[in-house]
Amino acid sequence: MSLIHLENIEKTYHAGAPLHVLKGISLDIERGEFVAIMGASGSGKSTLLNILGILDTYDSGEYWLNGTLIKHLSENRAADYRNRMIGFIFQSFNLIPFKNALENVALPLFYQGVGRRRRNALAMEYLERLGLKEWAHHLPSELSGGQKQRVAIARAIITQPQIILADEPTGALDSQTSAEVMDLLRQLNDAGMTVVVVTHESGVAYRTHKIVHISDGVIGRIETNLDPAATPFGEGGLMK
Amino acid sequence: MWDSMQEIFANLRRNKLRTALTGLSVSVGIFLLIVLLGAGNGLIHAFEHNAGNMALDVVRLWPGFMSKPYDGLGQGHTVRFDNRDLRLTSAGFPGRVLRSTGELSQSSVRVTAGSENATGELRGVFADYADMNKVVVTDGRFVSPLDLSERRKVMVVGRKTAADLFGDARRAVGRLVVADSTVFRIVGVYADRGQMGSMTAYVPFTTLQLIYNKGVNVESILMRTRGVDTEEADETFRADLRRSMGALHRFAPDDESAIWIYNSTTGAKESAKAMGVLRTALWLVGLLTLLSGVVGISNIMLITVKERTHEFGIRKALGARPWSILRSVLLESVIITALFGYVGLVLGVVATEYMNVVAGQQTVTVADLEMPVFLDPTVDLGVALRALAVLIVAGLLAGFVPARKAVRVKPIEALRAS
């Protein structure tokens, strides 16, 4: 079975007038894939990612993650899945503002019950790997956008999750740092992690290996893009 | 655990002003509770102290005047007690009246010893007057039954009078004094509890009757009783007294003003009831003050939770279990209440001790008796600790509602909150 298996996922929001966001999504993502979910705003792509990350629930259909049906999970089990299986990268970074870079990176390990000394050492190791060793004791407000996103990436991967879910990871960054971030994600994919990126930017989507076009709550075309360097938007090409 | 504590203290430090204000409402709440209870205790202790002037099994009778004509005597006729009343009350209520004694007094008596003199009242009493009225003899002895039967000219004076006459109270026993023109021997000195003004000296009842030509008159009657301490028994006893004495003095058995009856047991009960009401009222006010502190915490926790919703969303996305978030909010609330509650408690205890020093000795002089108005205005440590426990539980509850709200929000909704 695939790492992620979606079958006829439907989701309706009931805020005022009911809004049918996902109208039957079926999708398989294999272990080790580098996938982009692309669509205009309002197409339902973020909702889909939130469901994949167990941050949101769905109304009908089935979502199998690593062979487990993700439905009606207890809060505790959902928390544990998010903690051990999934790493999140957000457009707005979502770093905790009153914690320094090191503490932010170490936080997922805190929820695994790892001791302070060990988790700080690990966090420092990951920050160093991302070239942020000197910034470890700075607050997020003292970091640039690119640095913040790298801190967020370090935080996402410190638990060595199987899946990285990135929601518009370059949305708040300029084109050069965007390229750096996408490069980092590719490196993670090369190291064996499954990476799913949600974006509306072609320059981001075409740096992945598989592009799932979604519009108006349904999946349109699925493109394979095995050689990102060859496309005009791919690596080395236009970013934004 | 240590990690979560550090997180909480970091959070409290981030919002210093808010933490301080919340804490203040808690501190003030418990401070007021302690001070109120302390002040109330001061009043109650003073009252109990003053009420402790008479033994609880004593019933006292004073003559009054007739409120309506009866048996040939007109309205307003004054009743006078005499030795017959003593005999009647002694023998007439077997099982209820154990002993009946009389009291007489002669005022404006000048007592001299050498060149010193004191003016005041001589009170003719029976031997067990001291016991019934809690007169404490510090030197020598009180009037004895033998003094009464032999009509001895002996006297028991207050410490102050003794000191005035002889310089030192201890030197007074055995000395002779002249009261008006009669020589008395001082046989005892009693503690007059800082009595001010004119003196009161005790002499045998029979002696006073004889010397001051009182005939068989008795001013008031003091009885030791048994089994009249319930309201019902008291009512019956009063009715029986009025009927028997009415037959003797020719007043109507239902004439309430012909004799005045004071039963110290029921009197004590009345005052105990009043004290109970006072105590309840104080607790009520104190607890309401405390409640306003708790509402303050609850409010602040609601705001805190609202402000931190986004942060909680991040934490949930990173794998925080609901309990870890719930616990951090609850602990924060409990720490604020416990910490500031303790501060308020300590300040409250300090304040009551200060009250004790400043106002604890205040007295008011009623007639010639000095009474404390405020005595030992302090609070039991047990009560204080119980109040703190109530506060901590309240803090837990105050934190629980917002905390549960924080936990119930879906992670994605929490992340969307700004």
The pLDDT tens digits of the residues spanning A122-169 come to 999 999 998 999 999 999 999 998 899 999 999 999 999 999 999 999
- Token duo for residue A27: 């999708």
Is the pLDDT confidence value at B367 over 60?
Answer: no
Query: Radius of gyration of chain B from Cα atoms?
Result: 33
Report the C-alpha gap between B403 and A144 in whole angstroms: 34
**What pLDDT score was predicted for residue B370?**
59
CB atoms within 10 A of CB A70: 20
**Chain A contact for B13 (CB, 8 A cutoff):** no
Q: CB–CB of A55 and B322 under 8 A?
A: no
- Contact present, B33 and B289 (Cβ < 8 Å): yes
Residue spans of the domains in chain A: they are: 4-223
Question: For all residues of chain B together, what is the average pLDDT?
Answer: 84
Percentage of chain B beyond pLDDT 70 is 94
Alpha carbon A167 to its chain's center: 5
Least confident of A130-134, B12-16, B248-252: B12-16
Is the pLDDT confidence value at A56 over 60?
Answer: yes
Q: Where are the alpha helices (DSSP H) in A37-144?
A: 45-52, 75-85, 101-110, 116-129
Q: Which of A57, A79, A95 has the CB atom closest to B319's CB atom?
A: A79
Report the C-alpha gap between B232 and A125 in whole angstroms: 88
Is the pLDDT confidence value at B2 over 80?
Answer: no
Q: Which of A56, A98, A108 has the CB atom closest to B318's CB atom?
A: A108
Q: CB–CB of B3 and A110 under 8 A?
A: yes
Is the pLDDT confidence value at A240 over 60?
Answer: no
Percentage of chain A beyond pLDDT 90 is 66
**What pLDDT score was predicted for residue A22?**
92
**What pLDDT score was predicted for residue B417?**
78
Least confident of B55-64, B189-198, B362-371: B362-371
The size of the A-B interface in CB pairs under 8 A is 61
Residue with the bigger pLDDT between B365 and A180: it is: A180
Chain B segment 296-315 residues within 8 A of A by beta carbon are 311, 313-315
pLDDT band at B154 (very low <50, low <70, confident <90, very high): very high
pLDDT band at A230 (very low <50, low <70, confident <90, very high): low
Is the pLDDT confidence value at B18 over 70?
Answer: yes
pLDDT band at A61 (very low <50, low <70, confident <90, very high): very high
pTM for the whole structure: 0.68
pLDDT band at A231 (very low <50, low <70, confident <90, very high): low
pLDDT tens digits, A70-115: 998 898 999 999 999 999 999 999 999 989 999 999 999 999 989 8
Tell me the torsion sign for CA atoms B117, B119, B122, B127: negative
pLDDT band at B308 (very low <50, low <70, confident <90, very high): confident
Is the pLDDT confidence value at B363 over 90?
Answer: no
Residues of chain A with Cβ-Cβ distance to B12 below 8 Å are: none
User: Between the CA of residue A224 and those of A191, A211, A231, B159, what are the distances in Å?
Assistant: 20, 6, 12, 113
- Token duo for residue A202: 């072609």
Q: CB–CB of B412 and A116 under 8 A?
A: no
Q: CB–CB of A108 and B311 under 8 A?
A: no
| Helix, strand or coil, per DSSP, at residue B6 | helix
Beta partners for residue A22, in sequence order: A11
DSSP B148-180: HHTT--EEEEEHHHHHHHHSSGGG-TT-EEEET
Report the C-alpha gap between B11 and B7 in whole angstroms: 6
Specify the CATH class of A4-223 in words.
Answer: alpha beta
**What pLDDT score was predicted for residue B418?**
67
Task: Name residue, tokens 């439905």.
Answer: A71
CA proximity to A156, closest of A211, A197, A210, A98: A197
Q: CB–CB of A88 and B317 under 8 A?
A: yes
**What pLDDT score was predicted for residue B17?**
84
**What pLDDT score was predicted for residue B137?**
86
Enclosing H/E stretch for B134: none
Residues of chain B with Cβ-Cβ distance to A53 below 8 Å are: 317
Is the pLDDT confidence value at B91 over 90?
Answer: no
| Helix, strand or coil, per DSSP, at residue B313 | helix
- Contact present, B42 and B379 (Cβ < 8 Å): no
Question: Which of A22, A46, A82, A165 is the mutation pick for testing B, counting most B CBs within 10 A?
Answer: A82
Is the pLDDT confidence value at B266 over 80?
Answer: no
CA proximity to A6, closest of A53, A76, A75: A53
- The ipTM (two decimal places) reads 0.92
User: Between the CA of residue B169 and those of A165, B1, B160, B198, what are the distances in Å?
Assistant: 97, 69, 7, 17
pLDDT band at B131 (very low <50, low <70, confident <90, very high): confident
Give A232→chain B minimum CA distance, Å: 35
Angle at B32 (CA atoms; ends B30, B34), nearest 5 degrees? 70
**What pLDDT score was predicted for residue A162?**
93
Residue with the bigger pLDDT between B150 and B359: it is: B150
CA proximity to A170, closest of A203, A192, A210: A203
The arithmetic mean of pLDDT across residues B271-290, rounded, is 83
Q: Which of A80, A94, A116 has the CB atom closest to B319's CB atom?
A: A80
